[in-house]
Structure 1
Amino acid sequence: MTAGISAPGRARIAERTLRTDRWWLSPLLTTLGLATFVVYATIRAFSGVSYWVNDYHYLSPFFSPCVSTSCAPGSTHFGAWFGDLPGWIPMGFLALPFLLGFRLTCYYYRKAYYRSVWQSPTACAVAEPHARYSGETKFPLILQNVHRYFFYVAGVVSLINTYDAIVAFHSPEGGFGFGLGNVILLGNVIMLWAYTLSCHSCRHIAGGRLKHFSAHPVRYRLWTWVSKLNVRHMQLAWTTLGTLVLTDLYVMLVASGAISDLRFV
């Protein structure tokens, strides 16, 4: 039995769509935005250069945690657990796979790349190119169901990024120091926490299984807080892509000597 747009009872329309507006613009911009981030992040993650500013203890989030002897001196905040890494393994290999899994299985990102890349469907009232639809019941899309487990690891990584941001309040002479890099690192961490906690899985964990909110006032309060963030999940998903690139780019420019960090204290 045929399925999708050829299923019995579906209108037989030869055109892909009867829409006359620029319906293709939104999925195109989404594809370009996601592709730009993926290309930049991939190049930087495998570059292995200019990710640590020793004077101010700035560490790029793409390289955290750095836990091998290949890491720049001082950047191994949690120790060197592994020896030298070959060039095809990024410095931040310990966290990057889980963060990638968290983003790929995120409910918003699913919607974004299902429509723009997978074209399932590209837009409302636009026929998708797939003859059959199995949803997330078969490989590889069935792996989307492990999103909540990636959420737990993403929470741990956010704690690590928070520690990195705190350690960065350092001056070359020792002791407390404060510069523009600290503002960028701290802003990135705040946005990462907002994106992580606005996750649909976090909202469900906070109060999704409760039948009587009145019997669980603390969890109800947590659920309301997460729900307020959840309505901004799409905006936070895009914003954090921008803050990650901005933070890494700033650290790279300072570490390479292209610019000097603006110091306040």
Structure 2
Amino acid sequence: MSSTTDASAGRAQIAERTLRTDRWWLPPLATLVGLSAWVIYATVRVFLQQWYFVPDHNYLSPFYSPCISYGCVPEAAHFGRVLPDLPWLPYAAVSLPFLLLFRLTCYYYRKAYYRSFWASPPACAVAEPHRRYTGETRFPLLLQNAHRYFFYIALIITVINTYDAIKAFQNADGSLGFGLGNIILVVNVVLLWIYTVSCHSCRSIIGGRLNHFSRHPLRYRLWGLVSRLNTRHMEWAWITLATLAITDFYIMAVSAGWFADPRIIN
């Protein structure tokens, strides 16, 4: 009989996939349901191509930012219109693929969808059902190695979202305006910044190649701040999915005339 403590003996020879007695399947199931629901909602909204902008208050949905299609209303096209207006081409087709790739290659999301969608593995101490394991050595998983470059592009898009939030404080007539929509847009963009800079790549870029922190006190402080945010990267990932959907839904509701935006100033 071979030893079960010897590493060379391989996996313990037991018939069960796991000896865990808790509900280990619940977290991957919840992740599967949550991510699927968000993807369905976001896909419908992106291709709906209406109710994305409130002209009176310059509210622009983050799902349509930057709005650079000729189908965009001119007031929503803060950076010009260059894409053709086609029913199968999202108005923000330049930014959305990179945001998707940034999230897909995120270290947390990789763990989340590997476990929930591919069951590779479904949980700790639970054998996966696949016979072969190739890791991230084949296409398309080779793209995971490009996460850092998608991070740079995500930074630019977050700056654009910040501009949109600031622009929303100006009404269509040029006067200062402030309503519930402004609060929602600002909260969303602040949380997007926290999620983006709490990324593992950001932490590595700031302090990963430093041999002597004492020689770089400012970068050390920034590295410490990002490291603290990084410990809750999973929470920021889910929170920003929620705020993105809430922000888009609110702007859709106001744009469609379901209710008026409560105004504090003008």
Which bracket does the TM-score occupy, shorter chain normalised?
Answer: over 0.9
Q: Which residue of 1 aligns with 2:31?
A: 30
Give CA deviations for 1:93-134 in whole Å, capped at 9, x if unaligned.
Answer: 010000000000000001111111111110112110111222
Which letter maps to 2:244?
A: L
CA distance in 2, matches of 1:173, 1:248: 23
CA distance in 2, matches of 1:145, 1:220: 25
Which letter maps to 1:219?
A: R
Q: Which residue of 1 aligns with 2:247?
A: 247
CA distance in 2, matches of 1:134, 1:147: 19
Is the CA contact 2:69–2:92 (under 8 Å) kept in the aligned structure 1? no
Which letter maps to 1:170?
A: Q
**Secondary structure of 2:178's match?**
coil
By how many angstroms is 1:135 displaced? 1.4
CA distance in 1, matches of 2:142, 2:173: 53
CA distance in 2, matches of 1:121, 1:39: 24
By how many angstroms is 1:28 displaced? 0.1
Give CA deviations for 1:14-57 in whole Å, capped at 9, x if unaligned.
Answer: 22222221111110000101001100000000000100000000
TM (norm. structure 2) is: 0.94
User: Taking structure 1 as reference, are residues 8 and 131 closer, same or farther at Cα in structure 2, changes over 3 Å only?
Assistant: farther
Q: How does 1:85-164 map to 2 (within 5 A)?
A: 85-164=85-164
CA distance in 1, matches of 2:217, 2:85: 49
Which letter maps to 2:64?
A: F
Q: Which residue of 2 aligns with 1:75?
A: 76
Q: Which residue of 1 aligns with 2:3?
A: none
Does 233-242 or 136-145 show the bigger shift?
136-145
By how many angstroms is 1:8 displaced? 5.8
CA distance in 1, matches of 2:226, 2:257: 41
Is the CA contact 2:66–2:78 (under 8 Å) kept in the aligned structure 1? yes
Q: Which residue of 1 aligns with 2:11?
A: 10
Q: How does 1:30-69 map to 2 (within 5 A)?
A: 30-69=31-70
CA distance in 2, matches of 1:261, 1:172: 14
Q: Which residue of 2 aligns with 1:194?
A: 194
Matched residue count: 258
Is the CA contact 2:108–2:233 (under 8 Å) kept in the aligned structure 1? yes
Which letter maps to 1:70?
A: G
By how many angstroms is 1:72 displaced? 1.7
Q: Which residue of 1 aligns with 2:5?
A: none
* Identity fraction in percent: 62
**Secondary structure of 1:33's match?**
helix
Does 124-133 or 29-38 show the bigger shift?
124-133
**Secondary structure of 1:43's match?**
helix
Runs of at least 5 residues in structure 2 that lack an aligned partner in the other structure: 1-7
TM (norm. structure 1) is: 0.95
Q: Which residue of 2 aligns with 1:3?
A: none
Aligned CA-pair RMSD: 1.2
CA distance in 1, matches of 2:106, 2:10: 33
By how many angstroms is 1:9 displaced? 2.5
Runs of at least 5 residues in structure 1 that lack an aligned partner in the other structure: 1-6
**Secondary structure of 2:76's match?**
coil
Matched, 1:170 2:170: yes
Which letter maps to 2:254?
A: V
Matched, 1:224 2:224: yes
